[in-house]
Amino acid sequence: MDHPNVVKLFEAYQDKKRYYIITEMITGGELFDQITKRPYFSERDAAHIMKQVFSAIAYCHANNIVHRDLKPENLLLEGEGSNALIKVIDFGTSQVFDPKKKMK
């Protein structure tokens, strides 16, 4: 997947005991931590974040992928500052879906 608000996966490896994934470096921490640190979010800040999240999810849905575990802990900030990009992570429970069938 190639979208500015979805974490990029570069490589995946496994040995007899573990899986290893190599992704882009994201240093800003979880959105959840920002929510708990700040006394409030302005409407502008919330709209900026949600626009990015909706854009990422619309991209996933257009590619027949459903995330199934969206929460602030699975939204990372690319870096520090109020203009940092949001990155959607943790596609562990995601599924490819057929738009003609009902999901369970």
Helix (H, G, I), strand (E, B) or coil at 47: helix
CATH topology of domain 9-96: Transferase(Phosphotransferase); domain 1 (1.10.510)
Beta bridge mates, 6: 88
Q: What is the pLDDT along the chain (104 residues), one digit of tens a residue?
A: 899 999 999 999 999 999 999 999 999 999 999 999 989 888 999 999 999 999 999 999 999 999 999 999 999 999 987 789 999 999 999 999 998 999 88
Separation of alpha carbons 72 and 60, rounded Å: 18
Confidence (pLDDT) at 2:
94
Active site positions, annotated: 69
Tokens representing 82 are 């109020």
- Predicted TM-score (pTM) of this structure: 0.88
Confidence (pLDDT) at 41:
85
Contacts of 99 (CB under 8 A, 6+ apart): 64
